[in-house]
Amino acid sequence: MAEEPAPESGSGSGSFSSAVNGGKSIEECQDMIRRSLRTPMVKFLREHLEKAGCVVGENFIKAVHCDKQISGGYVRGEGIVVCSNHMSIQDEVNQVVIHELIHAYDDCRAANLDWANCAHHACSEIRAGHLSGDCHYKRELLRGFTKIRGHEQDCVQRRVMKSVIANPYCSEAAAKDAMEAVWDVCYNDTQPFDRAP
């Protein structure tokens, strides 16, 4: 199981944080998920999941209310959830859906992926963070992180750590060691893309 930390407000004013404006209802979020299914990135990932033998049907991705401070997650055999109460704009929903589809793709293509293994989990988070565009500089600016040089890898590392530490099998030290051990291989593994989009 892979869970994503809730949208960050960073060091900025925090006015962008969805906690401030209360998020969306489950129905609104479900509509936003439907809209995300029409974006080229989501279509591309669903096609490749299907090619790898894993069909992602309409109800694979569900809007739910989350009590935890997470934006969404992927659970093997259950699918993807998007936390409606932590979403405020379409772009956030698209990002969660894309990020979780990369986890679903990793789970599909590797028969022996073990989410309890910190290195396996870290690898999928590195790929999902890098390939989803979670760390595009425009999104980082909205979070209040304004350092541009080297921002992309810093941002991916920060988000990988948050997700892997939330794994009950991974301490902070184990998460850091795992991330460093697999970084180069997993950051450069851009499947199913030819290169990072």
Residues that bind Zn ion (CB under 5 A): 2, 4, 125, 128, 163
CB of 155 to Zn ion, least distance (A): 13
| Rounded-to-5 percentages of helix, strand, coil across the chain | 55, 10, 40
Contact 175, 161 (CB under 8 A): yes
Measured from the CB atom, the residue of 4 and 152 that comes closer to Zn ion is 4
Least distance in Å: CB of 142 to Zn ion?
Answer: 19
**Dist CA 83 CA 35 (whole Å):** 16
Nearest approach in angstroms of CB 147 to Zn ion is: 23
Q: Which of 51, 22, 20, 24 is nearest to 36 (CA)?
A: 24
CA distances from 169 to 77, 106, 117, 172 (A): 20, 19, 7, 10
Looking at beta carbons only, is 149 or 165 nearer to Zn ion?
A: 165
**Matching residue, tokens 């959830």:** 81
Measured from the CB atom, is 2 or 6 closer to Zn ion? 2
* SS3 of residue 82 by DSSP: strand
Q: Please confirm, yes or no, whether 100 is among the known catalytic residues.
A: yes
Write down the catalytic residue from 4, 100, 125, 152. 100
Residue 29 or 160 having the CB closest to Zn ion: 160
Task: Mark residue 10 as left, alpha or beta (left: phi above 0; alpha: psi -120 to 50; beta: remaining).
Answer: left
Shortest spacing between CB 186 and Zn ion, in angstroms: 12
What positions carry a catalytic annotation? 100
